[in-house]
Amino acid sequence: MRENRSMGNQVVETELIAVLVAVTDGDPRVLTIENGYALPSGPLEPGHPSLQTGLRAWVERQTHHPIGYVEQLYTFADQQRGEARGISISYLALSREAAAEYPSASWRSWYHYFPWEDQREDNKFPADMYRSLTGWAAGDVARRARIAGLFGGEGRVWNEELVLQRYELLWEAGLVPEATRNALVAATPVPAKEMLNDHRRILATAIARLRAKIKYRPVVFELLAHEFTLLELQQTMEALAGQSLHKPNFRRFIEGQELVEETGRTTTGLAGRPAKLFRFRASVLEERGFTGSKLPLVR
Amino acid sequence: MRENRSMGNQVVETELIAVLVAVTDGDPRVLTIENGYALPSGPLEPGHPSLQTGLRAWVERQTHHPIGYVEQLYTFADQQRGEARGISISYLALSREAAAEYPSASWRSWYHYFPWEDQREDNKFPADMYRSLTGWAAGDVARRARIAGLFGGEGRVWNEELVLQRYELLWEAGLVPEATRNALVAATPVPAKEMLNDHRRILATAIARLRAKIKYRPVVFELLAHEFTLLELQQTMEALAGQSLHKPNFRRFIEGQELVEETGRTTTGLAGRPAKLFRFRASVLEERGFTGSKLPLVR
DNA sequence: TGGAATTATACTCAAGTTGAGTATAACAAG
DNA sequence: CTTGTTATACTCAACTTGAGTATAATTCCA
C-alpha cells in the first residue's frame, strides 16, 4: 500500500467500546448504559499514552476495582457517517461487579441478550426461535446442516464457542431486530433483548473470545474474589461457558494444573461440609509462558 | 466514557499494516518492502466498504492470488506524532508466493527475523544470543525462570506459540536493536534482521497467532496448492510451527479429521514411491462450526 | 440430641487419545 | 536386480478423559 498511495490519508474519528464482564451469583454480567440498550463507549482522548490505558482508567473509575485483564477485541470501520469515517475499537475487560457510579449504567446478564447460549440446564432453547429457524431452513439441506452444526441436533454436539456464528445465522434468518434498522420492528419470535447498532454483535464476539480463553489461560481468577472455594470457581466457569461441568473431573484438573493453593481457611455458616478456601497462585503467570495452562471444560 | 465526555473527539490518521504469509520450499515467508526492512503498509482509503476489503484488494493486486484468509491482528496508537495521533491496524493474510509486482517488494523467510523460532533441527539456537541472555539473568532467579519458561531448559519444554513473549524478553534484555532507536546501534549478539519501528513486533504477533490457529482451524490449506501430498501438508505445518512432527501420527490425525480427500492421482517423476494427491474438503467449513477441527501438532 | 439434608472431598475404572516405534509397499537410478 | 528413497500401514504402552461411586464434615430441624 505504501507502494500504491494515490490518495491522501483519510481523517477519521475514533471510538472505544468496552465489554466489561463480571460474574455474580452464577450469572455472567455486562456493564451497560441506556437501560441495557448500549455498551459503554466514548471517544479516544488525547493524553493517554496508549489505547489500553485510556480504557483501563475509565473502567476503573466506573467499577472501583482494579482491572486485571483487558484485551482488544476487534476494530471496524463505520460505514454510515458520510465523508468522515468512524473507527471503533472494542475491548473485553474483566472485573468484579460493583455499584455502577453513574445512574444510567447497570449490569445485565449476558444471557438476556443471548438466552440460547445458556445450556447449563439441558437444551433450554427458546422453542419459538427454534421453530422459526427450522421454518427458515425448510427444504434447504445446506441451511439445515448449518443449523445442526451450530445449534446441535442431528448427531452434532453443542460447541459453546460458536456464539458469533450462531448470532450471525439468526441475523441471516431475519430473527434479529437490529437487522431491520429503520423498520417498525415487528414482534420477533426470539425472546432476547436487542441493542444499539452492532453492540450485540460486539458482545457476542466478547463472549466467544472469553469462552475460548478460559480454556487455556487462567483469566477466570480475575472474576473471583481473592479467596474462593472450588465450587465457586466451577460455577464461575459454568456461567461463562454456559455448560455444566462434572465436579470430580473439574477438581482433578484444577489440582493437576497447580493453579491454586489452599489458604488454610474454610467457609463457615453455610449448609453442608465446609469448603477449603483457595487462592490463585499468581506465580504461574511467570512460570509458564501464559499459554499451555489449560483449564479445560471437562463436561 | 460516553458518561464522561469532557473533551472533544480526537482526529487521527489511520494506517493499515499487512503481514502477508506464504510457505515456499518449507520456508515460511513474509512479503516485505524496503529490502526486507518494513512490512507493506498504507493509509486507509476512502471508498472501501470495510477495512478488510481494502486490505484484501491491495494484497490481491500484489500477489495475483485470491486471498483466502485475512484476519485482524491488533490496533495500536502511535505515540510520537505530536498532536495528531496515528492509529495502526495490522492484519494477517495467507496466500501463496508469487513474484512481487513492485520491484521493492520481496519475500523473506520469517526466520531471518527470528532465527531462534526455527526448532525443526534440535535446538539450533544462536549460541551467542543464549549466552547474552544468561548473562543478563545472572544472579536473578526470576529472570532465569522466565528464560527457562520461554526458551526451554531446566526441565521446561519449548512452546512454539510464545513468539511474542520471547521477543519481548529479548527486548527487555537489551538484545533488540529496535529498542535503542536513535542510538548508533552497536553490533548485537543476536544474528537476526531488524525492522522499522515496531514492524518486527507485529510480525511476531502474526507468527504467534498463526501457530495457534493452525491447531484448531484448517487455515494451512490456504498456503497449499489445490492438490498436495500429505508430506507437503506436513512440511508446511512444520515450517509454520518451527517444529518437526512425527510422520505416522501426523497422518493418523489428518485422516481421522477427514479434512482431506484423495483426488485419485499421484505424484510422478520424483524419487521414491509415488504419493497420493489430496485436496482439502472445503465442505468441512460448513459442516463443523469452524472451531473444533483441530490439526494438532503431534510432535 | 440425633437423624436427615447438604455440601465437600477422595477414589475407581473403562474407553479413548497420544507418543513412539516397526514393518511393508512402490517407485527411480544405477 | 539391487540399492536408495519415499509412501503407507500397523502395533503397543502410557497417559488422559468421561463417568460413576463412596465417604467425610457440616447445618437444619424435629
* Residue A157 CB partners (closer than 8 Å, separation 6+): none
* Residue A265 CB partners (closer than 8 Å, separation 6+): A227, A276, A277
How far: B228 CA to C30 C1' (Å)?
A: 30
Please tell me the predicted confidence (pLDDT) of residue A248: 93
Q: What is the three-class DSSP state of B260?
A: strand
In the numeric block, the cell 499514552 is attached to A49
- Give nucleotides in strand D with any atom < 7 A to a protein C-beta: 4-11, 17-21, 24-28
Q: Which pLDDT band, with edges at 50, 70 and 90, does B6 fall under?
A: very low
Please tell me the predicted confidence (pLDDT) of residue A246: 93
Q: Which pLDDT band, with edges at 50, 70 and 90, does A24 fall under?
A: very high
Share the mean pLDDT of chain A: 83
Report how far residue A193's alpha carbon sits from residue A182's, in angstroms, rounded to the nearest whole number: 17
CA-to-CA separations, A232 to A30, A269, A280, B86, in angstroms, rounded: 19, 16, 13, 44
Residues within a 7 A CB radius of strand D:
A 246, 248-249, 252-253, 266, 268-274, 296, 298-299; B 229-231, 247-248, 251-252, 266, 270-276
Average pLDDT over residues B158-187: 80
* Residue A282 CB partners (closer than 8 Å, separation 6+): none
CB contact under 8 A, B159 and A50: no
In the numeric block, the cell 468496552 is attached to A18
Of the candidate CATH numbers 3.90.79.10, 3.40.50.300, 3.20.20.120, 1.10.150.120, the domain formed by A2-111 belongs to 3.90.79.10
Q: What is the three-class DSSP state of A109?
A: strand
Please tell me the predicted confidence (pLDDT) of residue A87: 86
CA-to-CA separations, A125 to A152, A192, A245, B299, in angstroms, rounded: 11, 12, 19, 41
Q: E-strand spans in B106-193? A: 106-109
The CATH T-level fold of domain B215-287 is: Arc Repressor Mutant, subunit A (1.10.10)
Domain boundaries for CATH 3.90.79.10 within chain B:
2-110
Domain boundaries for CATH 1.10.10.10 within chain B:
215-287
* Cβ count within 10 A of residue A117: 23
Q: Which pLDDT band, with edges at 50, 70 and 90, does A123 fall under?
A: low
Report how far residue B169's alpha carbon sits from residue A271's, in angstroms, rounded to the nearest whole number: 49
Q: Which pLDDT band, with edges at 50, 70 and 90, does B296 fall under?
A: very low
Question: Which of the nucleotides lies closest to A270 (Cα–C1')?
Answer: D27
Q: Which residues of B touch A149 (CB under 8 A)?
A: 286-289
Q: Which pLDDT band, with edges at 50, 70 and 90, does A292 fall under?
A: very low
- Give nucleotides in strand C with any atom < 7 A to a protein C-beta: 5-12, 18-22, 25-29
**Length reported for chain B:** 299
Report how far residue A19's alpha carbon sits from residue A37's, in angstroms, rounded to the nearest whole number: 13
Question: Which of the nucleotides lies closest to B296 (Cα–C1')?
Answer: C18
Domain boundaries for CATH 3.90.79.10 within chain A:
2-111
Q: Can you list the pairs that A263-266 forms with residues at least 24 positions away whose Cβ atoms lie under 8 Å? A: A263/A227, A265/A227
Render pLDDT for B192-249 as a digit per residue (tens, 0 to 9). 889 998 999 999 999 999 999 998 888 999 999 999 999 999 999 999 999 999 999 9
Instruction: Decide if B230 touches A, using CB distance below 8 A.
Output: no
CA-to-CA separations, B127 to A129, B116, B146, in angstroms, rounded: 62, 10, 18
Q: Look up the pTM and report it.
A: 0.89
Please tell me the predicted confidence (pLDDT) of residue A181: 58
Picking from A85, A52, A39, A50, the residue whose alpha carbon sits closest to that of residue A207 is: A39
* pLDDT higher than 90, residue A262: yes
Instruction: Tell the CATH superfamily of the B2-110 domain.
Output: Nucleoside Triphosphate Pyrophosphohydrolase (3.90.79.10)
